[in-house]
Amino acid sequence: MLQPIATVALVLIVALTTATLAGAWRMFTKAGRRGWEVLIPFYDFIVMCEIAGQPTWIVVLLFVPMVAPVVWIVVCAELAARYGRSKAFGLLLAVAPFVVAPILGFGSAVYTPPPATVRGPMATPEVGLPSPASPLTDGPRSRNAKVAMILGVLSILALVAGLVAVGVIEASSSDSPTAPAVLPDALSFTILPGAGWALGLAALWFGVAGLRDVRSLAPGTATRGSAQTQSVTGIALAAAAYYMVFLMFIGLAYG
């Protein structure tokens, strides 16, 4: 009885996800962005903030459980306004993107760029982020982008090490329940996952700063393309680390 229900649920999830991504893809292209940017977790939210005229640093707030839904609703409301819709329509976009995103993407909605100066409920100076690079000094080196990619790789390595340590502990305990632990539980279940999560958050932070640096580099140059690739890679690795931590805790809770 449960198998047909699970199959229907899976098909429904795939259909709704496809509708959301297709609509968002068209929304991005209407705003002059590349459609594939919607496929990268967290980076797609950064692009949404830029399209909506909101500061990109607020992507970090997605890691704060009680704040993340509010940030999501505010950005969706501002995004809908950029396509000529009301803030209430933006609320619908936040709760039912599989319906509203195709309407905005494939419908008659026209994108209006935000003013040069960021305004809106989330508009505050980007305090704490590394400053955009100078085109004459730090720009060609694009240090923030490189740091983002390195931190992203380190976050994944820390989480993989945590998973391996968990496997070693479980294997040793199953072979000999009374034998002393090969590795301390704190290392496997707390320190390594925590380090992976923190490194992923730092990679996200520097990835946002790296994308800001890209604006100071000359368009069409190899340096600009490399900096953008490194920043996006760091953000994508941060997203992967975030979901790995989430799945690890789910596995520990139900394992």
Range of the domain at 81: 2-106
In a domain, 70, yes or no: yes
pLDDT one-digit tens code per residue, 111-126: 999 876 444 444 444 4
Do 84 and 25 lie in a common domain? yes
225 and 153 both lie in a single domain: yes
Q: Does 128 reside within a domain?
A: no
My answer on whether 11 and 101 are in the same domain is: yes
38: amino acid identity, one letter: V
Q: What is the pTM of this model?
A: 0.65
pLDDT value of residue 100: 93
Burial class (CB in 10 A: 0-12, 13-18, 19+), 106: middle
Q: Same domain, yes or no, for 34 and 99?
A: yes
Residue 119 backbone class (left: φ over 0; alpha: ψ -120 to 50; beta: rest): beta
Residue 137 lies in a domain: no
CA 45 to chain centre: 6
Amino acid, single-letter form, for residue 208:
V
Residues 88, 169, single domain; the answer is no
Q: Are residues 150 and 211 in the same domain?
A: yes
CA distance linking residue 206 with residue 229, whole number of Å? 13
> Are 39 and 100 in the same domain?
yes
Residue 138 lies in a domain: no
Q: Pick the more confident residue, 223 or 184.
A: 223
Residue 194 pLDDT level (bands cut at 50, 70, 90): confident
Average pLDDT over residues 26-47: 91
C-alpha span between 25 and 83 (Å, rounded): 14
Whether pLDDT at 30 is above 90: yes
pLDDT value at 27 more than 80: yes
**Residue of 163, 166, 209 lying closest to 46 (CA atoms):** 209
For tokens 């994508």, name the residue.
Answer: 236
Q: Are residues 239 and 160 in the same domain?
A: yes
- The pLDDT of residue 180 is 46
What one-character-per-residue DSSP string does the chain give?
Answer: -HHHHHHHHHHHHHHHHHHHHHHHHHHHHHTT--GGGGGSTTHHHHHHHHHHT--GGGGGGGGSTTTHHHHHHHHHHHHHHHTT--HHHHHHHHH-HHHHHHHHHHSS----PPPSS--STT----TTSPPPPPTTTTTTT-HHHHHHHHHHHHHHHHHHHHHHHHHHHHHHHHH-TTSPPSS-HHIIIIIHHHHHHHHHHHHHHHHHHHHHHHTTSPTT-HHHHHHHHHHHHHHHHHHHHHHHHHHHHHHHHH-
- Residues 127-156: tens digit of each pLDDT: 444 444 444 344 444 688 888 888 888 888
Structural domain count of the chain: 2
Same domain, 92 and 169: no
pLDDT at 128: 44
| pLDDT tens, position by position, 53-88 | 998 888 888 877 788 888 999 999 999 999 999 988
86 and 172, same domain (yes or no): no
In a domain, 81, yes or no: yes
Residue 40 and residue 232 in contact, taking contact as beta carbons nearer than 8 Å = yes
What pLDDT digit, counting tens, does each position of 221-254 carry?
A: 667 778 878 888 888 888 888 777 777 766 666 6
Which residue from 121, 117, 109, 86 is spatially nearest to 28, judged by alpha carbons? 109
CB of 62 closer than 8 Å to CB of 68: yes
